[in-house]
Amino acid sequence: MVLVVRGELRLTEGKIAAQVAHGAVMLARRVERESPTRFSAWWKTGQRKIVLEARTLDRMEMLERAARARRIPAVWVEDAGLTEVPPGTRTCLALGPAPDVEIDPVTRELPLL
């Protein structure tokens, strides 16, 4: 699973942690329901998660399109707007879980957060 944080928002560390956690839970629940085999493989191998940063929302939208074209599940985290950003702000894009050979071509140019 890869979680991509929107860098231009300059979120605090705590806010990033919360948004990444939301993304991981949302994506895991969706994949468990829609693709049990994919979920089971990820679960049995330690639930690997990698957090990356994309500078802009436009870049994240490009990543989502590339992931979906490869049939990699994708979920957006939209903030409730109670603390640092307005309601509905897209803060995180969760992708996967998927084998490295599938997801690396989509995310390899992004830096680790």
**Structural domain that includes position 75:** 2-107
Residue 23 has a pLDDT of 98
Residue 25 has a pLDDT of 98
* Structural domain count of the chain: 1
Does 12 reside within a domain?
Answer: yes
Minimal CA–CA distance to 91: which of 8, 31, 26? 8
- The token duo for 15 is 């806010």
Residue 89 has a pLDDT of 98
Residue 81 has a pLDDT of 96
Q: Which stretches of 1-113 are DSSP H helices?
A: 13-34, 36-44, 57-69, 100-107
Minimal CA–CA distance to 52: which of 16, 89, 81? 16
Rounded Cα gap, residues 56 and 107, in angstroms: 14
Residue 58 has a pLDDT of 98
Residue 57 has a pLDDT of 98
**Which amino acid would we find at residue 103?**
I
Does 87 reside within a domain?
Answer: yes
Query: How far are the Cα atoms of 25, 62, 108 from residue 40, in angstroms, in the given order?
Result: 15, 28, 24
Does 112 reside within a domain?
Answer: no
- Ranges of residues in the chain with a pLDDT under 50 are none
CATH number, domain of 68, equals 3.40.1490.10
Residue 101 has a pLDDT of 96
